[in-house]
Every structure is written in C-alpha cells, then in structure tokens.
Amino acid sequence: AQKITQTQPGMFVQEKEAVTLDCTYDTSDPSYGLFWYKQPSSGEMIFLIYQGSYDQQNATEGRYSLNFQKARKSANLVISASQLGDSAMYFCAMREGDGGYNKLIFGAGTRLAVHP
C-alpha cells in the first residue's frame, strides 16, 4: 500500500490566490512526522514545513500552512498569496516511528503552476 498519496499530478493557480495541495498518508505508528518539500525546475529540494503527529496545532511557516487532519490521515499544504516563484514540484513526505527508523518516504509529487 502507498504510504504517501498525492492525488493531484498537476495544479494551477492564479497569482495572489491561495492553493491547497493534497497529501494523505498511511501508518499505524502513533509517532510520525510529516514534511513538505519544494523542488523548483533547478532541481534542488527545499524544506518548507513540518508537522509532528503529536502536535496540537497546525504548522505554519510564512505563506505556508499545513492543514493536519489526523483522523483522516491528511496533511494538506496550503500556500497563500501564490507567487510566480511558487511554480515547482511539491512533495509530501513522512518519517515513521521513534528510535532509529529514520527514512523519509515521499509521495509522487504535485506540479504547481502559478499563472500571472
């Protein structure tokens, strides 16, 4: 079974509007962390935001916020006031468990295009 599912291969948004990128995950471990990364066309992987499974509040980092719905196992990324520079691939990732099992499992990614 897929551990991380990103159902939107591509999304587009008008500049200055908000956009939500979907991510659902599958784990039976009570301890896990969820991450979002951005990969622009230049290829580097840029960390955006993190949510821990025990965090009570949704994470926010500037224009990025994570809509964490634990019961639904979803961790959607919300980008507010989109900018042209937000055009990129976005990856949701999960790290499971405590005590040494420390790999990030990535979703297939969503390509976001921001239109002027």
Q: Which residues bind other proteins (CB under 8 A)?
A: 29, 31-33, 35, 37, 39, 43-45, 47, 50, 52-54, 89, 91, 95-106, 108-109
Nearer Cβ to other proteins (31/69): 31
Nearer Cβ to other proteins (18/40): 40
Residue 27's SS3 state is coil
CB of 45 to other proteins, least distance (A): 4
Nearer Cβ to other proteins (13/59): 59
d(CA 116, CA 110): 19
52 forms beta bridges with 33
Nearest to 27 by CA among 49, 2, 52: 2
CB of 48 to other proteins, least distance (A): 9
CB of 47 to other proteins, least distance (A): 4
| The two three-digit tokens of residue 83, written as one number | 């900018």
d(CA 9, CA 112): 9
Nearer Cβ to other proteins (19/95): 95
CB of 16 to other proteins, least distance (A): 27
| The two three-digit tokens of residue 71, written as one number | 């019961």
User: Are 23 and 7 contacting, i.e. CB atoms less than 8 angstroms apart?
Assistant: no
